[in-house]
């Protein structure tokens, strides 16, 4: 018959086993956190690009549907980082707003602060325009292009300007 009350047969972990487990866990976490942070930043850039694309598509479709001009206007000149609004040009009716981007994100364009879509869904830009959406901590960003016809395209760019 075995003596199960002896310390030799007690269940549980020793202090050394517990410390080794904690040390290994800390090493794994310290390796995973920087990669996870970059993943979150890249996803944030993708989200912002999708939000802007949605605003462009809304402006274009509303211009066609209403038969009037709809504009997307930067809240701060050519620096679109401060957000934008979608408005009906003739009445000033606000259709959508986007808040300023957070963190180290930048969203710049050569466009003077306004993109207007006419009743046919075309822009009044005169040429294809591009926007660059970047984060200072991530090498890849997104480039958003709007053609004169009003079609939008989004692609990844590396390195980010």
Looking at per-residue pLDDT, the higher value among 130 and 35 belongs to: 130
Domain range list for the chain: 14-157
Query: What fold characterizes domain 14-157?
Result: minor pseudopilin epsh fold (3.55.40)
Question: Please, what's the b/e burial string for 42-76 (b: 16 or more CB within 10 A of its CB; e: otherwise)?
Answer: bebbeebbebbbebbebbbebbbeeebbbbbbbbe
Q: Which residue has the tokens 């890849």?
A: 140
Q: What is the pLDDT of residues 94-147, one digit of tens each?
A: 999 999 988 888 888 877 788 999 999 999 888 888 889 988 888 888 999 999
159: cis peptide before it, omega within 30°?
Answer: yes
Decide: helix, strand or coil at residue 55.
helix
How many Cβ atoms from other residues are within 10 Å of residue 80's Cβ? 27
Q: What is the pTM of this model?
A: 0.77
What digits encode the pLDDT tens for the residues 21-32? 999 988 888 887
């Amino acid at each position: 018959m075995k003596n199960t009350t002896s310390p030799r047969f007690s269940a549980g972990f020793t202090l050394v086993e517990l410390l080794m487990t904690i040390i290994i866990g800390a090493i794994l976490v310290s390796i995973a956190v920087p990669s996870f942070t970059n993943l979150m930043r890249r996803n944030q850039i993708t989200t912002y690009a999708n939000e802007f694309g949605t605003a462009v598509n809304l402006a274009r479709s509303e211009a066609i549907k209403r038969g009037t001009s709809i504009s997307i206007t930067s809240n701060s000149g050519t620096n679109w980082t401060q957000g934008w609004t979608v408005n009906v040009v003739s009445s000033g009716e606000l259709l959508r707003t986007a808040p300023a981007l957070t963190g180290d994100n930048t969203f710049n364009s050569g466009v003077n602060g306004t993109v207007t879509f006419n009743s046919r869904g075309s822009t009044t830009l005169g040429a294809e325009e591009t926007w660059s959406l970047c984060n200072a901590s991530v090498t890849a960003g997104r480039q958003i292009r709007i053609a004169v016809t009003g079609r939008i395209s989004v692609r990844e760019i590396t390195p980010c300007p």
